[in-house]
Amino acid sequence: MSPQTRMSRGTNVAGGASGQGAAAFHRALRSVYDAAVRKSNAEPRRVLNPRNGHQVGVITRENGTLVFERRVQESRHRLNMFGGGWALEMALLAKLEALGAEWERIVTDTGRVLCVRLARYRERGKTINYPGFGIQLALPESCFSDRIPDDFEREHGQPDLPAATKPVEPCLFEAGDL
């Protein structure tokens, strides 16, 4: 059986075996995601990667704000450069902005929730280009918080948030980070 046939039958890697491990991972990821994401007042809208057509997340509406949510396996998607970070493909970022999304929420398989304004990728992101993954903008984890502020916090600031919730400022790269 060719690797392409195996891929089409549910394997998670070319030539690899699917089964209990992959199914258990997706069940655990789904339960973490469901627990971490607040209920929205609209049906989620699927978002497809413009490069390959695969679903990469959903857009939901929360408190009048459109939020792009994606579930990831942290060991595969977290960047090890500059002490840890996350990246978003530039073509996908342009698509999300065209759809009106303002925030990104990353929910990892380890239960972490990371939130950032999409505009921050353009303001402070570093361009990276790994062959096969497209041109991406990367941000260090210091640019992320663990939740999206509500309407009151947006209007009046965030004075009561614990220090762990606030992004460390400034969210800048140092020489030699890449």
- Domain boundary assignment for the chain: 18-156
Phi and psi (nearest 5°) for 113? -125, 125
Helix, strand, coil shares, percent, the chain, to 5 = 30, 25, 40
Q: Output the six-digit token pair for 141.
A: 């984890």
Print pLDDT tens along the chain (178 aa).
444 444 444 444 444 445 567 667 666 666 555 544 544 445 788 888 777 888 889 999 988 889 999 999 998 889 887 778 999 999 999 999 999 999 999 999 999 999 999 999 999 999 999 888 889 999 999 899 988 876 656 555 554 444 444 444 445 555 455 4
Q: What is the pLDDT of residue 3?
A: 45
Specify the CATH number of the domain 18-156. Answer: 3.40.1350
CA distances from 145 to 88, 133, 162 (A): 16, 25, 11
Q: What is the pLDDT of residue 130?
A: 80
Measure the CA angle with vertex 70, ends 42 and 23; round to 5°: 105
Q: What is the pLDDT of residue 40?
A: 42
H helix or E strand, kind and range, residue 127: strand 126-129
What's the predicted TM-score (pTM) here? Answer: 0.63
* CB-based burial label for 93 (10 Å; 0-12, 13-18, 19+): buried
Q: What is the pLDDT of residue 128?
A: 92
